[in-house]
Structure 1
Amino acid sequence: MTKMAPELPIEVDSETGVWTTDALPMLYVPRHFFINNHLAVEEALGAAAYAEILYQAGYKSAWYWCEKEAECHGLEGVEVFEHYMKRLSQRGWGRFFTEAFDLGTGSARVRLEDSAFVYQLGKVGRKVEYMFTGWFAGAMDQILSAQGSELRTVAEQTQSAAEPGCDVGRFQVSPRSQSAG
């Protein structure tokens, strides 16, 4: 295997072409390709139905990723969440910043700058990064579960840089019992 980027451990198997980061297989596709496919599915299913599918799939994937990364790197609690934000930021989705994190209450706030969706779509007047919401709840819930907590959360996008007057995306993670969703 050949190392490609020292700041993000990407390895490419010279025989199979499989890319891995932190021992997880990865896919590498152009941003426009991914977003065009995303929009085609959104149009076919409707944004609300597609958002729910992505939420559930993203939740499950984030839980798995955080569990494996915590084991691999000996991380726990907020360290897992911060590692997740760092890796997401290194993979071209945008830059993710944890503005608040409280494991005791199961809450967090995440700011998104330089969104791949906004770069591709521009100011379209709506929240376009909804696929990330399940990621944040899945990450939080995996961390909670690892610490023996039965508390579970939901996440929602509260603003997008694709909306008028906004220059960043924002997401809120809240305990299920206190969420409207």
Structure 2
Amino acid sequence: MSKHAPELPIEVDSETGVWTTDALPMLYVPRHFFVNNHMGIEEELGAERYAEILYKAGYKSAWHWCEKEAECHGIEGEAVFAHYMNRLSQRGWGLFKIEELDLDKGTARVRLDHSAFVYVYGKVNRKVDYMFTGWFAGAIDQILQARGSSLRTVAEQEYCEAEEGRDHGLFVVKPLNAEV
């Protein structure tokens, strides 16, 4: 395994201890801490209900992130989505690869390798990456809004690396009124 620092501009405020990357304050926590909390909430609420909650929260957060990063870096459209996938990959969530992106149609396909959730859950024969799903629709919708489009999307995970026979996860984004 190659070990090198990701190319993230991290600033730490000496008075407050707040970490900032680009335009946003950040938290730095061990993977096991985050995923163990995730698993604890899932046990209490059930995966389906927790996924619904995370979709809405993730959508809102991705929208905000893309809006702030687009402004900070002076980027728009596909560059914003590519920047988002790159930053997610650099922050240890997994490696996100855009397989397809068509903003005019409101569609995307995102491959996920080496998911942080799969590393902890292992092969459990179910989708465990549902936290990411709302992130893709929120990001695409913010980009569409910035382009003046009223088109809105919905995202779904087609499959997960934690499922038997899968070596990666796949997420699909489509227009809100289309069948996913």
Whether TM-score is above 0.5 comes out as: yes
Q: Superposition RMSD on alpha carbons, in Å? A: 1.0
Preserved contact between residue 19 and residue 27 of structure 2 (Cα < 8 Å): yes
CA distance in 2, matches of 1:50, 1:6: 31
Structure 2 residue matching 1:170: 3-state secondary structure: strand
Matching residue of 2:86: 86
Preserved contact between residue 137 and residue 153 of structure 1 (Cα < 8 Å): yes
Give the aligned residue type for 1:72.
Answer: C
**Displacement of 1:6:** 6.7
TM-score normalised by L of structure 1 = 0.94
Matching residue of 1:132: 132
* CA deviation map 1:26-64 (0-9, x unaligned): 111111111110011011111111101000000000000
Matching residue of 2:25: 25
CA distance in 1, matches of 2:6, 2:119: 26
Gapped regions of structure 1 (runs ≥ 5): none
Matching residue of 1:98: 98
Matching residue of 1:67: 67
Matching residue of 1:119: 119
CA distance in 2, matches of 1:149, 1:95: 29
Preserved contact between residue 154 and residue 179 of structure 1 (Cα < 8 Å): no
Gapped regions of structure 2 (runs ≥ 5): none
TM-score normalised by L of structure 2 = 0.95
Q: 1:19-58 alignment to 2 at 5 Å?
A: 19-58=19-58
**Displacement of 1:68:** 0.7
CA distance in 2, matches of 1:29, 1:73: 26
1:15 aligns with 2:15: yes
CA distance in 2, matches of 1:164, 1:96: 20
- Runs (4 or more) in structure 1 with deviation over 2 Å come to none
Preserved contact between residue 128 and residue 160 of structure 1 (Cα < 8 Å): yes
